Structure 1
Amino acid sequence: MEIKKMVKRIFAIGAGATMLGATVMGAMAADLKNYPDMFVDDGVFNGLLVVGEKAAAVDNLALTDIASSMMYMKSDVSTVSVEGDAWKVEAGGDELEFGEAVGPAASGVVDFLDEDDLGALATGQLKSSKGTFSYEQYLHFDNAVINTTYAEDDDDITALYLKVPDNSMFARYELNFLTAAKSDIDASETYKLDDIEGKQLTMMGKTYDIVKAVSGNANSNQVTLTLMAGSVSETLLEGEAQTYTVNGKPYEVSLTFTDSSDRAKFVVNGEQTPLLDEGDTETLSDGTVLGLSEVLYQDYAGGIHQAHFFLGADKIVLEDDDITDTASSDELSVNDETVDGSDITITGSINDNATSTTDDGELEIDTIVINMTAQDDYFIAEDETLLGQEELDEKDLLFTQNWDIQFKGMTDEKTNEISVKPKSSEKEYELSFVNVNGDKIDVPLAYASAGTSVRFGDQDDPLLLNRSVITDEDYFILNDDTDEDSVTNIVQYKGADDNSKSDPKMKLKVLATGETLSRPITFSATNSATATLKLSGTTYNLANATATGSDDWSITVSSGGEATETRSVDTLMNFLIAKGGAKIWLTDQNSSIETDELKFNVSLIDSNLIDDAASVPYLVKGYNIVPASSELDFGSAVGITLVSPDGDDDNSYGWSANGAWVHLNSPSGTTSADTLTIDWPEDERTALVFVTSGATATTASGGSLASVTIIDATKLDSEVTSVSAQNLITVGGPCVNTVSAELLGNPSNCAEGFSPGKARIKLFENANGNLAMLVAGYSGADTRLAGKVVANRASELSGMEMEVEGTTYSDATLGAPSVAAPVEEVVEEAPAEEVVEEVAEE
């Protein structure tokens, strides 16, 4: 039998949601079915893997099998998909970015959809005595009008929307005959198009009967097509009655009258219709539409009198006054109601004009086009559709009502915070970001050093943009490169020994780790000093900038990494690189250490993290930091426009093209300082927009399968001082593993509870919430088998204990223990006495 590794618990998560971690699971009932989730925290094993000091090699192999196969579902990303006839707005590598239009391709993603994108746009055929005329269908997005926005809708709700603006032509349907569809014009029958009437067209996945097709009067270029579809398409004989169900409701329909003028009357659930001509509809009292498609009346004794009709009918009329031009003369009519904004264009040619009621003609049709123009602003919120908008009064504006646009929000990407927040005194600002290595760094950004003066740094120590002269306690910036892959570190110089010391040291505090490093100093014969600092694989060379005869002399970064400071006239600049391609520029407008204004801004510089909505460097947001009355606040701003929700002037928000979520808190009516928080994605966060047809279903799946990281977790039983202080996976029975013995109550017979050829996988729950899992067999071979089962068949584990029996993991039998054991709560006892082996496990 084929065995596949799998993780038992995969959570379906929506955009922005997170996977439940081990810390949450600690509150859940202990169960083997949750393995390995209950031992994993943020992808890292959060316990100990224990093997007996006396154990033989097979126990070690079992432990290795378990550790090497431990997998979990990463929680950083979730994906959303729409199942059914649906097309996600993307083309090749071109994804829909925030603010980018769906189409056309020149400024958006796509020009049009066809049958390769949407099944409803499949190629069709119109068959007549003139031949078989194949046609293709397209849904065009000619105008750059459908795009995501963060805005206030007509109900004063500010949120993320996919917006279709009022009076914009947002879509265009086209039916294009590959060879023009020809038809005779029967002048004697009110200029009927003989070869088109009575045929069918399938448009946007919906099949219509062409119940009437006519040209205009003599010498006319007009074409009018009346089409019908419906829930029920049936034929009744005169005097016959049948019951049909539409939308769950029964309808008894009887045909009561027909005549030679192709007219008919019906009674529906006791309601009499008027006399209907072919192509007419009648709306019943409950809103259901009945449409007469065709009457067959044989005007002789015994002749057939019948009518074909639609119940739950959808009647559309396509009309163009002149098919020889490309102008639109008429709007779409649905069930005898004109649909505002739905303009019809039928193009073709008149091959032979019908000049009178006795002179027939011929025409041909090339295309049928419907332009759809919004009649209001349509704000489509996350998990909503265009057809679902209340402002879309006439749903038939979406031609056939068999297609729609769905908005599912933004993709879920792993994000990190970039923030500039005031300290409690409001005399200082602190900048926080995550560097390329994933280290969170809190930087003392700005301090109001006087009533109208500000400097980079904190109250006690400056942050230098230039690393040429660094004095004791100064902060300085180290970049190992200039691009998006540069690892930024902020270091504080903590002083150095003078040249008289026998073992001189220089101290440097690395803010990424909080660690203060002590580096040896080499003095030359002239008392010049050098030292090195290695961070993230880059060695920085440090030297003295002032005399070394006394402690804490000034230093300079003489080489290593990149000198990223820039100066122009009185302006000094440097930058920090954050994970996800962000460059944080720091600018001092005055070369002196005190100034009246500092600047910072955040830009995207990684071209791989933005498609074509913007080019890099792409400015997201930035502010001036200005002092007033010895306090700091934000001054003028640059970057994307932020919007305040209705009634909340203190907060404003916005999205950037790469999917960063920006929040400014600017308390009004007080002296409180402003705060900027940016939720910055590691990968581009894009808009989830789908064009759909018919019934669809949305699914969300979370994360990807990844190996659990195990750091310094393997221990011998003799190295474990408490069985309850942490989570445990312990391998081997009580005869060779004292931890296993203690979990099982230190039985006097170490083989108690074990049977030859069988192994136990048992879960223990401590009062403090920690868990221990025992994997042990009667013999070493049995233990090895249980380890392989845990490694390869974890999805089949359940309950508090399972018994394993067999020779190979693929055919081993898993079941409840032969003798059910009660759930045990571990009580920590004194260390067990040395166990005397009674049964040789190995």
Structure 2
Amino acid sequence: MFNFKKLGSVLASAAMIGSTAGLAAAANYPAPFVSGGAADIAVVYGSTAAATDLVAVADITANLQAKLAAQTATGGTTSGTSVSGGDFVKLSKTSDNINLGNEVASVFGTSIDDDDLPNLLADAVYRNDENTEFDYEQKITLPPNFVLSHFTDNNFNNEEPTVGINISSSTNVFLYTLNFINNAESDVVSGDLADIETTDITMLGRNYFIFDVDNSTSKITLLDSANSGIVTQGETITIDTEEGLEYDVSISFISGTAVKLVVNGETTNSLVKGATYRLTDDSYVGIKEINKLEVSGEVGTVEFSIGSGKLELPNGNNIELNDDAVQEITSYIRRGSTSGGKETIDKIELNWTTDSDSFIAPLTDDGLGELLMPGFEVVKFSMGEFYTPAAEVVTVKPDGTTSIDLTLTLKDGEVTVPIIYSDSNGYFVGIGEDANDLLVTSGLRTSVVFNETKGDEWLVASWNSTSEAEGYLLDFTSWKKESGINKTTVRKLTPGTPQWVNVCADRIPGDTCDIGSLTLTINNVRYQGNEKSVNVSSTQTGASFNKLYTAEGLRVNLPYLAAANTTAHGAINFTMGANGHAYNVSNLHHNNQSWGLYFVEENKDDSIDAGNVFNITLNDNSDKEIQVNSIDTRSKNEKEVEDNNNLVSRVKGDLATKVRRIGASSDQRWAEVTYSGSESYGDIFLTVEGATLTDTDGSDGTVTELGSVAVSDGEVDSVSGKNLVVVGGSCVNSVAADLVGGDYCGEGWETATGVGSGSFLIETFERTGGKVATLVAGYNAGDTTNAAKALTTQTIDTAAGTKYTGSTSTSVTLEGSAAAAA
């Protein structure tokens, strides 16, 4: 059965359908089915309807959901990427985004079905030529090798570093499977599966006409039959395609077994049922049925399809489109066991493999970044812009030839502080700018001395509580002695004017100083002669004198003096002794020739100090000038920007911090860190071909869900007091038969409704309780498809008593008294 579970919850029971009454107050679709932010609707389909009717039901329901969502959207917009224009599934979970380094399948899973793409992968019913029904389902299986990465490629985006999925040649993209729940059966006639030939089947949201199935090779030949019609001898009908083409079709010759058609003035060969003819515009016309008695004067009819191409599905080989092989798609026809003397088909599989380097990434100016399924061209992979919630910049730059400045944004704003300096030979000798402008740091919290007399200019102090963090640069001023007690005032560095702001005035030994959430204890104040110094400490959990935290939560480990064999982040030993220097030079970056400035991200839950670690290594260049030597994000994804002097890398993980090394080898190189502050991710989608992506910022809003509203005509008694949209004609839908007064088919339908071959109606009837039933139906299945499209795209008055007719989805005509009133 067709599965409508993504389309919502059903309803209660339909009351008796009344006859057409006089005109009611005008109400344009989607009213009264969706109006004022509320839904009052059941969509009724025929139990024996063609698969295309079921697709029409899904399209109408999806459209009503979109209308309801537009009427009820609240609470802002969603950050990331939105999709419009048809079926789509975002390949991530509400609780698990695709972060840098993630495999798509490990986040989303490997299986995509009608729960995810309700139209493209709809469950449906196939009927063979003996009118035996076989339920089938469709799914797509993703590979395990799609990884969101940071890459460059000479075939993509001018080799600009990009976050996306870089797919090499001969890589599996996905496996599509059409699985018959009970194997489709057929007798074998003249070596073919005759009961499957000359029938219709819907695959990947498109209707195909099967006109040949070879029993020995299992090869299936299809015709794209999205555009079908029935032409009567002596008349000309016009077929309008979704591509905007028109085909005028008439009969030149017809017998009981063969026909010649005239299509836009071009006469085909003599064609039997199941045969095809290639037109001069490379489209194909295929014969579905020929109805002609060998009686003089008998008028014949022909059911035909005009499609964009002929599709051949050999077993175990590349598919062919219009006689040209599509190298990327291999088809497999999985046969079932013989049943009651009949041959069977269990599955149809399509395996998509790349034949060149391919990319799923944000769309470039030259249109690259989407991956469209070759041959079928109905489904594609797309990606929105890589989402980073913030762009906080930290720079690490040389200041002159012997010192390095760190510029970062703290809680109070952006500040710059020198962190390390060297001698004229390029060896690190101290923490700060020079011997007279020192940065005070410590690996201890119990006793830290700030000595202005010895050149101390800044004291590093910070605090974090896992969920919050603060960082400060402090100094001490206004030294004095009053009543024999030494006092000092604590200041913090800010980006304002003045830069130094008093936070705790005239503190004496034993006092505390609260700076934001950080509490310092003043252990001792010395003010004697030229000596001005203070000893401070903090007993708080999370307090530190060697770390700073940016406003967004990035931890920066500043240098502090330590023993020669200490490997903690930030530790440095300036001693040249063998035990110290030789040990630390082994990639640990804690010595006087090479020192690592380490950073720690938050995790995706915004927990401080809980994310990934990366570092920038400082060293001297060939001119003994200190600089940024290298960057290490642990990702091994350093990419060139312009040339190999300028590199960019991203930390593989939840936040994907971007780190750049900038400058030529002849210059003093510097680094730039761009921190997102929270989880960063890629929105990757599998969509229908015509869908478009829009990148948005904001916060998640809410919409009202329509729920499942589709019921079969056999279930109509289970819905009560609802407005109805009835899809399909009286020949296949018993509710439609009640509306028009009989289960008419063919000429009977035309007599009852005035709608003949190639046409449809959209007519609204009154029901009890002030409800309505809108009939959406055509002379054949293709016409019903056009009717459904017209309902959702044209202006349709759904008041009881209105009737529209049409032959294409882009134009309708208001009939009868309603037209006169208009």
Q: Could you say which residue in structure 1 is the equivalent of 2:112?
A: 113
Q: Deviations over 1:150-177 (max 9, x none)?
A: 3124154324244332111111111222
Q: In the TM superposition, what are the counterparts of 1:373-392 in structure 2 within 5 Å?
A: 373-383=353-363
Counterparts of 1:537 and 1:564, CA distance in 2 = 10
Out of 475, 492, 496, the position equivalent to 2:475 is 492
**Distance (Å, rounded) in 2 between the aligned partners of 1:390 and 1:556:** 59
Task: State how far apart, in whole Å, the 1-side matches of 2:684 and 2:369 are.
Answer: 19
1:222-251: per-residue Cα shift (whole Å, max 9, x none)? 433332224521233466543434433433
One-letter code of the match for 1:440? E
Same amino acid, percent of matched pairs: 20
2:179 aligns with 176
Measured at CA, do residues 522 and 181 of structure 1 come closer, stay the same or move farther in structure 2, by a change above 3 Å? closer
CA distance in 2, matches of 1:286, 1:268: 11
Task: Please tell me whether the aligned partners of residues 251 and 269 of structure 1 are also in contact (alpha carbons under 8 angstroms).
Answer: yes
Establish whether residue 139 from structure 1 lines up as the match of residue 155 from structure 2: no
Q: Contact 2:395–2:406 (CA<8 Å) still a contact in 1?
A: yes
Deviation at 1:78, TM superposition (A): 4.9
Q: CA deviation at 1:373?
A: 0.4
User: 1:451 maps to what in 2?
Assistant: 425
1:506 to 464, 489, 496: 489
Separation (CA, whole Å) in 2 of partners of 1:76 and 1:439: 29
Letter in 2 for 1:451: N
Query: Are residues 1:440 and 2:438 paired?
Result: no
Task: Decide whether the 8 Å contact of 1:115 with 1:122 is kept in 2.
Answer: yes
Q: State the partner residue of 2:663.
A: 667
Deviation at 1:590, TM superposition (A): 0.9
Distance 1:389 1:538, change over 3 A: closer
1:703 and 2:703 matched:
no
Report the Cα distance in structure 2 between the residues aligned to 1:173 and 1:507, rounded to whole angstroms: 69
Count of residues in Structure 1 that have an aligned counterpart in Structure 2: 583
Q: In the alignment, is residue 342 of structure 1 matched against residue 329 of structure 2? A: yes
* Whole-Å separation in 1 of the counterparts to 2:514 and 2:209: 78
Conserved in 1, the CA contact under 8 Å of 2:183 and 2:336?
Answer: no
**Paired residue for 2:549?**
577
Supply the distance in 2 between the matched residues of 1:92 and 1:629 (Cα, whole angstroms).
53
Letter in 2 for 1:212: D
- Letter paired with 2:674: D
Amino acid in the other structure paired with 1:173: Y
Structure 2 partner of 1:723:
none
Aligned-partner SS, 1:371: strand
Contact persistence 2:486–2:527 (CA under 8 A): no
Equivalent-residue separation in structure 1 for 2:75 and 2:289 (angstroms):
61
The one of 646, 654, 657 equivalent to 1:651 is 646
Aligned mates of 1:641, 1:421 — CA distance in 2: 23
Task: Say which structure, 1 or 2, has more relative contact order (CA 8 Å, 6+ apart).
Answer: 2
Letter in 2 for 1:600: L
Change (3 A) 1:199 1:518: closer
Contact 1:258 1:264 survives alignment (8 Å): yes
SS in 1 for 2:127: strand
1:601 maps onto 2:603 in alignment: no
- Distance in structure 1 (CA, Å) of the matches to 2:326 and 2:638: 35
Aligned AA for 2:663?
A: P
2:507 and 2:522 in contact (8 A); partners too: no
The structure 2 residue matched to 1:556, chosen from 535, 544, 551, is 535
Residues 301-339 of structure 1: CA deviation (Å, up to 9, x unaligned): 45665543322333323333xxxxxxxx22222233222
Measure, in 2, the Cα distance between the counterparts of 1:498 and 1:607: 50
| TM-superposed deviation, 1:273 | 3.9
Residue in 2 that maps onto 1:638: 632
Q: Measure how far apart 1:86 and its partner are.
A: 1.7
2-side partners of 1:191 and 1:250: how far apart? 34
Task: Evaluate the alpha carbon distance shift between residue 307 and residue 621 of structure 1 in structure 2; reply closer, same or farther with a 3 A threshold.
Answer: farther
Other structure's SS at 2:419 match: strand
Distance 1:190 1:365, change over 3 A: closer
CA contact (8 A) 1:124 1:201 kept: no
Question: Deviation string for 1:262-289 (max 9, x for gaps)?
Answer: 5544443344444556555444333434
The question of whether the paired residues in 1 share the 8 Å contact of 2:276 and 2:284 is answered with yes
Indicate the SS of the match to 1:608. Answer: coil
The match for 2:205 is 205
Partner of 1:372: 352
- Separation in 1 of the partners of 2:500 and 2:337? 86
Structure 1, unmatched stretches of 5+, are 1-72, 217-221, 321-328, 353-359, 524-528, 566-572, 707-842
Work out whether 1:89 is the aligned partner of 2:91: yes
- Do 2:463 and 2:543's aligned partners in 1 also have CA atoms closer than 8 Å? no
**1:481 and 2:464 aligned:** yes
Shift of 1:123: 1.3
- CA RMSD in angstroms comes to 3.8
Q: Deviations over 1:463-498 (max 9, x none)?
A: 233163332134222122374623222223447335
SS at match of 1:366: strand
Aligned residue in 2 for 1:252: 248
Q: 1:112 offset after TM fit, Å?
A: 1.7
User: Which range moves more in the overlay, 86-95 or 445-454?
Assistant: 445-454
Question: Relative to 1, partners in 2 of residues 1:224 and 1:406: Cα closer, same or farther, differing over 3 Å?
Answer: same
**Change over 3 Å in CA distance of 1:497–1:599 after alignment to 2:** farther
- In structure 2, the partner of 1:683 is 678
1:767-819 Cα shifts (integer Å, max 9, x gaps)? xxxxxxxxxxxxxxxxxxxxxxxxxxxxxxxxxxxxxxxxxxxxxxxxxxxxx
Counterpart of 1:576 in structure 2: which amino acid? L
Q: SS at the partner of 1:401?
A: coil
What amino acid sits opposite 1:596 in the alignment?
Answer: Q
Compared with structure 1, are the counterparts of its residues 191 and 229 closer, same or farther at alpha carbon in structure 2 (3 Å cutoff)? closer
1:665–1:142 CA distance, 2 compared to 1 (3 A): closer
Distance 1:376 1:574 in 2: 51
- How far apart in 2 are the matches of 1:704 and 1:191? 58
CA deviations over 1:700-726 (Å, ceiling 9, x no partner): 5543599xxxxxxxxxxxxxxxxxxxx
Q: Any conservation in 2 of the 1:651–1:663 contact (CA below 8 Å)?
A: no
Q: Are the counterparts in 2 of residues 229 and 313 from structure 1 also a CA contact under 8 Å?
A: yes
Q: 1:316 to 1:518 in 2, by over 3 A?
A: closer
Tell me the distance in 2 between the aligned counterparts of 1:364 and 1:531: 89
The answer to whether the aligner puts 1:406 opposite 2:382 as a matched pair is: yes
CA contact under 8 A between 1:642 and 1:652: conserved in structure 2? no
Cα 1:704–1:641 shift into 2, 3 Å: same
Q: What do residues 722-778 of structure 1 show as CA deviations (whole Å, max 9, x unaligned)?
A: xxxxxxxxxxxxxxxxxxxxxxxxxxxxxxxxxxxxxxxxxxxxxxxxxxxxxxxxx
Measured at CA, do residues 641 and 305 of structure 1 come closer, stay the same or move farther in structure 2, by a change above 3 Å?
same
Q: Which residue of 2 aligns with 1:541?
A: 521
| Contact map agreement 1:609 1:658 (CA 8 A) in 2 | no
Q: What do the CA deviations read for 1:85-120 (whole angstroms, capped 9, x no partner)?
A: 2222222311112342322x2xx4321211121122
Deviation per CA, 1:579-630: give whole Å up to 9, x if none. 44422233243155993332112232435159xxxx9541344323446645
1:362 maps to 2:342: yes
Give me the whole-angstrom Cα distance separating, in 1, the residues matched to 2:148 and 2:641.
22
| Residue 570 of structure 1: aligned partner | none
- Mapping for residues 746-757 of structure 1, pairs under 5 Å: none
CA distance in 1: counterparts of 2:631 and 2:638, whole angstroms: 13
Say which of 156, 161, 170 aligns to 1:167.
170
Kept in 1: contact 2:405–2:418 (CA 8 A): yes
> In the superposition, relative to structure 1, how do residues 239 and 701 fare at CA in structure 2: closer, same or farther (>3 Å)?
same
Q: Tell me which amino acid in the other structure corresponds to 2:227.
A: V
Report the 3-state secondary structure (helix = DSSP H, G, I; strand = E; otherwise coil) of the residue aligned with 2:433. coil
Alpha-carbon separation, structure 2, partners of 1:519 and 1:275: 100
Inter-CA distance 74–635: structure 2 relative to 1 (3 Å threshold): farther
1:122 positional shift: 1.6
Q: Give the secondary structure class of the aligned counterpart of 2:336.
A: strand
Aligned partner letter, 1:147:
L
How far apart are 1:674 and its partner, in Å?
A: 1.6
Q: Which amino acid aligns with 1:554?
A: S
| Structure 1 residues 77 and 634: alpha-carbon distance in aligned structure 2, compared to 1, 3 A threshold | farther
Counterpart of 2:725 in structure 1 is none
Closer, same or farther: CA 95–530 of 1 in aligned 2, 3 Å: same
Contact 2:234–2:251 under 8 Å retained in 1:
yes
